[in-house]
């Protein structure tokens, strides 16, 4: 990579490892609908003028239905569910569970038929990755301590991972060539419209603490608006394949921040499970020689929230 590419890569690796920490802090001070509305509204307010100035919204008109569906599975559903889950889960565990997205993308591609036979290595990667997910989530879902809010929260994060895995498939198959900034701004705007009534009904009676307000501002300004602009620049500088490597670094950043800032506890089992998920992801998402590569704008748009570009962008 060039020096500029390395700087952008390092910035994105950190920025998309931060949301789990900031969400954990924010949900302690405001209701979830208010948090989600604030985040998407800030992001939309900053990205809409850019998309309008570039005249990109005309390209969305023929595919508005798919844009709405994409917004639902990448923002409207998972951002609420993820924030709700973090009321009961440590931010570090949440980040590790979301690391299962590449494995789920590979599994969904297999189920819907990707036009490519899976090699023995990719089959092994899929199984190894799923074993890592089971190792990480199993104790809270089925172990002796299962039950209550924690078990439900783990299940919620796995639902989020499925949503994050579905969005890229929609973008790659139905939204190829759509301008990235317009796609992101439209998705955030739709989410803001959806959450405005819920947030009004659940508006806090008192002004949240400075720590909570700073976390919300960080989510909207840094982890949403700035993050997408930097990610598009990173793709332009190094290409989608190299840019996608941040997918494997984000969870480690999330764990580091959770431990350093909130004093969260990370067990040996969690580290082993993450290593297993990471190894499975790398193997399961290896590119086959016959696979078609979709347009880069769709790859960038499909990276919403997670920092995880679609399967088709990975080698």
User: What is the torsional sign of CA 77, 79, 80, 84?
Assistant: positive
**Cβ(60)–Cβ(183) below 8 Å:** yes
How far is residue 139 from each of residues 147, 265, 276, measured CA to CA in Å? 10, 16, 16
Cα–Cα distance for residue pair 6/14, rounded to 1 Å:
12
pTM of the model: 0.84
Cα 220 to its chain centre, rounded Å, is 14
Cα–Cα distance for residue pair 116/218, rounded to 1 Å:
41
**Cβ(46)–Cβ(158) below 8 Å:** no
Place of tokens 């796995």: 158
How far is residue 263 from each of residues 19, 90, 258, measured CA to CA in Å? 16, 10, 6
Give the number of other Cβ atoms within 10 Å of residue 118's Cβ: 17
- The domains of the chain are located at 3-313
pLDDT tens-digit profile, the chain (315 residues): 788 888 988 898 899 899 999 999 999 999 999 999 999 999 999 999 999 999 989 999 999 999 999 999 999 999 999 999 999 999 999 998 988 888 888 788 777 765 556 678 878 888 888 888 888 887 767 665 556 678 889 899 999 999 988 888 888 788 878 888 899 999 999 999 999 999 999 999 999 999 999 999 999 999 999 988 888 888 778 776 666 677 778 888 999 999 999 999 888 988 898 889 888 888 877 765 444 444 444 344 444 433 333 333 333
Which helix H or strand E contains 126, and what residues bound it?
Answer: helix 120-142
């Amino acid at each position: 990579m060039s020096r500029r590419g390395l700087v952008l890569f390092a910035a994105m690796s950190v920025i998309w490892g931060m949301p789990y920490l900031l969400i954990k802090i924010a949900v302690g001070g405001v209701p979830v609908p208010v948090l989600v509305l604030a985040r998407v509204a800030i992001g939309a307010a900053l990205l809409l003028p850019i998309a309008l100035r570039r005249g990109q919204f005309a390209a969305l008109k023929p595919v508005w239905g798919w844009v709405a569906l994409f917004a639902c599975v990448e923002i409207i559903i998972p951002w609420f569910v993820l924030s709700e889950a973090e009321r009961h889960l440590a931010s570090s565990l949440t980040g590790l569970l979301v690391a299962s997205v590449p494995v789920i993308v590979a599994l969904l591609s297999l189920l819907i038929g990707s036009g490519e036979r899976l090699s023995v290595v990719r089959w092994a990667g899929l199984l190894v990755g799923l074993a890592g997910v089971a190792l990480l989530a199993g104790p809270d879902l089925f172990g002796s301590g299962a039950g209550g809010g924690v078990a439900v929260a783990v299940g919620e994060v796995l639902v989020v991972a499925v949503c994050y895995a579905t969005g890229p498939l929609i973008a790659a198959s139905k939204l190829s060539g759509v301008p990235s900034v317009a796609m992101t701004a439209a998705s955030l705007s739709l989410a803001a419209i959806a959450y405005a009534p819920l947030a009004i009904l659940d508006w806090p009676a008192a002004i949240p603490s400075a720590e909570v307000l700073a976390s919300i501002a960080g989510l909207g300004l840094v982890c949403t608006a700035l993050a997408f602009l930097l990610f598009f620049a990173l793709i332009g500088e190094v290409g989608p394949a190299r840019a996608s490597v941040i997918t494997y670094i984000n969870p480690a950043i999330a764990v580091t921040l959770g431990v350093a800032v909130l004093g969260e506890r990370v067990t040996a089992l969690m580290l082993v499970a993450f290593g297993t998920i990471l190894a499975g992801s790398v193997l399961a998402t290896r590119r086959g020689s016959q696979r078609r590569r979709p347009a880069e704008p769709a790859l960038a748009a499909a990276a919403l929230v997670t920092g995880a570009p679609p399967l088709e962008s990975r080698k």
